[in-house]
Amino acid sequence: MGKLILIRHGQTDMNKDQMYYGRMDVPINETGRKQAEKARETLINLKIDYDKIYSSNLKRAYETAKIVNYKNLEVETDEKIQEMDFGIFEGLCYEEIVEKYPEEMELLKKDWKTYSYVTGENPFMLQKRAVEFLESIDKSKDNMVVTHWGIICSLLSWLFSSELDSYWKFQIKNGGIAVIDFVDNNYPVLCSFNVGG
């Protein structure tokens, strides 16, 4: 069977400033470019092959995908693998959110799985579209997917636990690579995690 190669985009200035910015379309910074270049070298050195490459259509993922794509295949973009839409929290850091939206933060803390960010979405909605994307690709092939923290962690949680139960148990770094082998009837096996990042 095939492999699923998940790569988190390189760092952005908003990552560095620890801001919520799921749908804001910002480019990677110089550190992010270096992380993407390191990921490319890792893919080559570890002989991680791929048949197709997909990317979120947001700049930070697409720019990373163009760098890591050592085979120069066409990069196919898909909105389903965009980061979480944080709604009214977009563009704010944690301290600003606590100060500006204290009631919303309390609701989020009470039930993070089903909390819908005002004008945004909730983690179940994020996971639903991530899984829809996964089910739309040919898992008999080696598929590289360059995307975001939320998409990667929701997919890993879906594949290796029940729905969102292990969502917070994975810490994929900017430029980090996770490799899943699908064996025996699409049974997922996590072979590598955070290499490159």
Residue 37 annotated as catalytic: no
* Nearest alpha carbon to residue 8 among 64, 90, 47: 64
CA 54-15-44 angle, to 5 degrees, is 40
> Catalytic residue among 9, 63, 90, 148, which?
9
Identify the DSSP state of 100. Answer: H
* Nearest alpha carbon to residue 4 among 174, 97, 133, 166: 133
Cα gap 146→151, rounded to integer Å: 10
What's the number of CA atoms in the CB half-sphere (13 Å) around residue 131? Answer: 15
Residue 103 annotated as catalytic: no
> Catalytic residue among 41, 74, 83, 99, which?
83
Identify the DSSP state of 120. Answer: S
Residues with catalytic roles: 9, 83
